[in-house]
Amino acid sequence: MRTIIFTMLVCLLNAGLTSAQVLQKGQAVFSFNWQNRVAEVIDVRNNSLACTGTNWAAPACSNTAAITQPSNWSLSRMGAIFGIAIDDKGDVFFASSPILGPAMVSDTGIIFRADGANLNTVSDFILNTNTYGPVIKTNTIPNNKNGFGNIAYDRWYQQLFATNLLDGKIYRISGAGSASGTVESVFTPPFNTFNGDINSPVKPGERCWGIGVNLDNDGVVRVYFAREMPYPSLGEVWSVALDGAGEFIASSAILEFQGPNATKITDLAFAPGDRMLIAEREGPHSSEVWQYHGTHLAWAPENQHVTVGSGSGRNCAGGVDYGYRQSPNDIMSLGDCSRLIWASSNAIRLDVLAVYGICAVPSDPYTGTYLQNAIMVDMDGDTINQSKGVMGDVEIFRDDCGRSDICDFLDVSAEKTDDPNAGDCCWKFSLTNEYRDDYFTGIQFCGLDGVQLSYSGVIPTWDVVQHAPTSVIVQPHSGSIPVDHFPDLLQLCLSGYSSSPQRVVVKWLGPDLHQSVVCMDTLEFDCGGNANPRCVRAVEDSLVCKNGQYTYTFKIKNNAPFNVQSFVITPLDPNIQVTPGLVNLTPPGIAPNTTSGYFSVTLTGSGLIPGQPFCFYLTAHDQPVLNGNFPHACCTDSVLVDCLPIPKCDPCDGVAISAAPVGSPDPAGGCCRSLSITNNYLPGYFTGVQVNGLGGVQISYVSGWAIQPPVTPSSVTFIPPGGTLGTATYNGFADICL
């Protein structure tokens, strides 16, 4: 019975397409340039019965991917085209393009609309104008036969976007349900410098090609567009957000990522929410399709390109889209709308067969070879002769299909733990990642409203890679968080709060390029009233000036529950520097509830103003902080900060100069001196030594270090080798005669 129903379904659908030429959900529209034909409809819906590794047609296959050619989809009607967009009703939009015939780009209509109710009804949706000027609220775009990079439909605001190859700008067009469109606004990318000369189109670096629209994980609709870069630079994918009315938010434009292989990315496609395809169009057998997963500022590519075509699998012709994958157990349904990747291709198969057209492979990892999985449709059914170089874009008429929210695959929880040595408000955090193995790169815990975080008990396969008073970042050794459950990942102790509840935000960090926060969750805790951190304090301390240099001397009292083997001094004033700021100790370090011996550090910087306080906080670790070595326990106290008054300190107190007779012979008859200087102040602070004669005394003879102009009879300036004084004694750096 199911076979009979299936046969009737195929007959009815094919008959409907032939008589009324109505586009059906799941069918493909494919552009090319071949014998006055520029596009066709390919019925790829019933793909559960499609054969693989050969052209999908009888007699090799049990059924055929029927191809329909509306008569007005012709070179004589539309000129050379490439880009395709399909709206929610099945209206098809074609954009003029030089890719498949630079001399054949139309100079009248430049974006065309095929009516979804009758695909043979083609209208000039947008007209060309060869005058560069205002076009808002018109149906014209200045183009001068340069064509468009591509075109995309926005299902959230029912509008279209097109990348103009003349001026490098993106045009927002309304009227998708009408025969004629209206330009609503124009977006100028931040890298665009077009000067308005219609005879001087933009070059690589300013040209935009592929374009697509996505509802990202943060609930914002964005237009993604591909920037062509000069060789050998890689193409770039940018985005610009839309506001609640579907208008560009120009200030939001930002680089999302660089393409992996080519300078020119001609097509973008999105699966619900968290997957993106990019298609390249470069030289023969060097154009790839890549699948990314993620969201805004957090896109990550698969480990390798999608195999498209014979040989290296780099045979994309520049078009790509997601499509339905029908289940053989449910042939009455189209199936999942994003489980196939369709791409236009030269050399889909090139050996005993020459298949040129479109092909599909599973969007999820698959077993077996490319030929065992690839569905192939030759553009004209001729698998003997090659139709090389004429393939264009491909678009599947599909539903929104819902949206995949990355954050739905994540979970975080906390359980109170009794650790009185560490603190009164300690919790063990557990995480679950059910999204992907290769996506998230770390977890950040952030205390809100002054809540400070000390950590301990990190599981052996993870490290704490960053710690501040209110923030802890952890990362697995592998660099990315695998799909797994991580019970008791680490213990965090909360302190520094004065009210309840206490709140900690858990942030999941995306791929390395931006390491953006992809998902976050806020946990609330009730630990009662005030709680001071149990960390370390500086005791028996003093801040003095000696030889014009500030020295801070102190001991460390360890109130933490672990042996302190390193600590960091962080001044509250960023204009004060501490040297060394990190102190690593010899194991076993400072035991809990004990006090160390004395440490001394040097203070420098413009923030050292006499009479003002020097305030700082301490961070303590259970291990030395060395390259590749991360502590397992750490605490910080920025509530109970230490402050000392800054004493007066004159750098000149650290400098001494002397003069001695030069001996014989004396050019001035006994009035020549050899000068020496000792600098106990900081190296690099003093840049020279000036000698001035007082009361009419003139300097008649000099030798030694380089002399800096100007020189007067009573004044000369000496410059040390290297330009500054080190902390050293310089004997006989200059001879002078008076």
CATH number at residue 322: 2.120.10.30
- Domain edge (last residue) among 396, 428, 458: 396
Do 202 and 192 form a contact (C-beta atoms < 8 A)? yes
* Average pLDDT of the residues of the chain: 91
* pLDDT score at 669: 62
* pLDDT score at 91: 98
- Classify strands 517-525 and 375-378 as parallel, antiparallel or unpaired: unpaired
Same domain, yes or no: 342 and 430: no
User: Can you tell me whether residue 110 is helix, strand or coil?
Assistant: strand
What's the whole-number mean pLDDT along residues 451-464? 88
Same domain, yes or no: 658 and 641: no
Residue 401, domain member (yes or no): no
**pLDDT tens readout for residues 580-620:** 999 999 999 999 999 999 999 999 988 998 899 999 999 99
Q: Tokens 């619900």 — which residue?
A: 272
Same domain, yes or no: 553 and 501: no
* pLDDT score at 13: 37
* pLDDT score at 18: 44
Q: Whole-prediction pTM value?
A: 0.80
Separation between Cα atoms, residue 377 and residue 359, nearest integer Å = 6
Domain count, the chain: 4
pLDDT over 90, % of the chain? 70
* pLDDT score at 539: 93
Same domain, yes or no: 72 and 115: yes
User: Can you tell me whether residue 281 is helix, strand or coil?
Assistant: coil
Separation between Cα atoms, residue 452 and residue 455, nearest integer Å = 10
Which two three-digit tokens encode residue 721? Answer: 């080798």
Lowest-pLDDT range, 100-109, 456-465, 527-536, 565-574?
Answer: 527-536
Measured in whole angstroms, how far is the alpha carbon of residue 501 from the centre of its chain?
A: 35
Whether 65 shows a pLDDT value over 70: the answer reads yes
**pLDDT tens readout for residues 102-151:** 889 999 999 999 999 999 999 999 999 999 999 999 999 999 999 999 99
Same domain, yes or no: 379 and 521: no
CA dihedral for 732, 734, 737, 738, sign (positive or negative): negative
Residue 288, domain member (yes or no): yes
Which two three-digit tokens encode residue 456? Answer: 């301990």
User: Can you tell me whether residue 399 is helix, strand or coil?
Assistant: coil
Separation between Cα atoms, residue 354 and residue 368, nearest integer Å = 22
Q: Tokens 């592998």 — which residue?
A: 478
* pLDDT score at 485: 98
Separation between Cα atoms, residue 457 and residue 634, nearest integer Å = 10
Q: In what order do the strands lie in the sheet with 634-645?
A: 410-417, 426-433, 484-495, 452-456, 634-645, 613-621, 566-571, 582-584
Residue 635, domain member (yes or no): yes
Q: What share of the chain is helix, strand, coil (3-state, %, to 5)?
A: 5, 45, 45
Same domain, yes or no: 224 and 335: yes
Residue 305 domain boundaries: 2-396
Of 530 and 108, which is predicted with more confidence? 108
How many Cα atoms sit within 13 Å of 289 on the Cβ side?
A: 32
Of 70 and 648, which is predicted with more confidence? 70
Same domain, yes or no: 64 and 185: yes
Same domain, yes or no: 198 and 177: yes
**pLDDT tens readout for residues 636-648:** 877 778 899 999 8
Do 184 and 245 form a contact (C-beta atoms < 8 A)? no
Q: Tokens 């008569």 — which residue?
A: 71
Q: Is 233 exposed, middle or buried (0-12, 13-18, 19+ CB in 10 A)?
A: middle
* pLDDT score at 448: 92
Cis, peptide link before residue 59, omega less than 30° from 0:
yes
Which two three-digit tokens encode residue 202? Answer: 């933009």
* pLDDT score at 457: 78
Residue 618, domain member (yes or no): yes
Whether 9 shows a pLDDT value over 50: the answer reads no
List Cβ neighbours of 32 (8 Å cut-off, separation of 6 or more).
Answer: 38, 39, 40, 100, 344, 379, 387, 390, 391, 392
CATH number at residue 449: 2.60.40.690
Which two three-digit tokens encode residue 349? Answer: 């198969």
Residue 425 DSSP code = S
Residue 562, domain member (yes or no): yes
- Domain edge (last residue) among 490, 525, 560: 525
Whether 19 shows a pLDDT value over 60: the answer reads no
* pLDDT score at 306: 96
Closest C-alpha among 291, 150, 272, 274 to residue 212: 150
* pLDDT score at 12: 34
Separation between Cα atoms, residue 89 and residue 485, nearest integer Å = 44
Same domain, yes or no: 491 and 359: no
**pLDDT tens readout for residues 326-348:** 999 998 899 999 999 999 998 99
Q: Could you tell me which residues are beta bridge partners of residue 96?
A: 81
Whether 96 shows a pLDDT value over 70: the answer reads yes
b (16+ CB within 10 A) / e for 324-350: bbbeeeebeebbbbbbbbbbbbbbbbb
Lowest-pLDDT range, 340-349, 481-490, 519-528?
Answer: 519-528
Same domain, yes or no: 365 and 249: yes
* pLDDT score at 20: 61
**pLDDT tens readout for residues 173-222:** 999 999 999 999 999 999 999 999 999 999 999 999 999 999 999 999 99
- Classify strands 316-325 and 336-350 as parallel, antiparallel or unpaired: antiparallel
- Domain edge (last residue) among 598, 623, 645: 645
CATH number at residue 609: 2.60.40
What band does 704 get if pLDDT is binned at 50, 70 and 90?
confident
Report which secondary-structure segment, H or E, holds 122.
strand 122-129
Residue 530, domain member (yes or no): no
CA dihedral for 328, 330, 334, 338, sign (positive or negative): negative
**pLDDT tens readout for residues 468-484:** 889 999 999 999 999 99
Lowest-pLDDT range, 287-301, 553-567, 665-679?
Answer: 665-679
* pLDDT score at 531: 66
Residue 305 DSSP code = P
Residue 531, domain member (yes or no): no
Whether 243 shows a pLDDT value over 80: the answer reads yes
Q: Tokens 């650290």 — which residue?
A: 654
User: Can you tell me whether residue 385 is helix, strand or coil?
Assistant: coil
Q: Tokens 């920037």 — which residue?
A: 227
Separation between Cα atoms, residue 712 and residue 699, nearest integer Å = 8
Residue 121, domain member (yes or no): yes
Same domain, yes or no: 19 and 43: yes
Same domain, yes or no: 86 and 198: yes
* pLDDT score at 268: 99
**pLDDT tens readout for residues 365-414:** 999 999 999 999 999 999 998 888 799 999 999 998 877 789 999 999 99
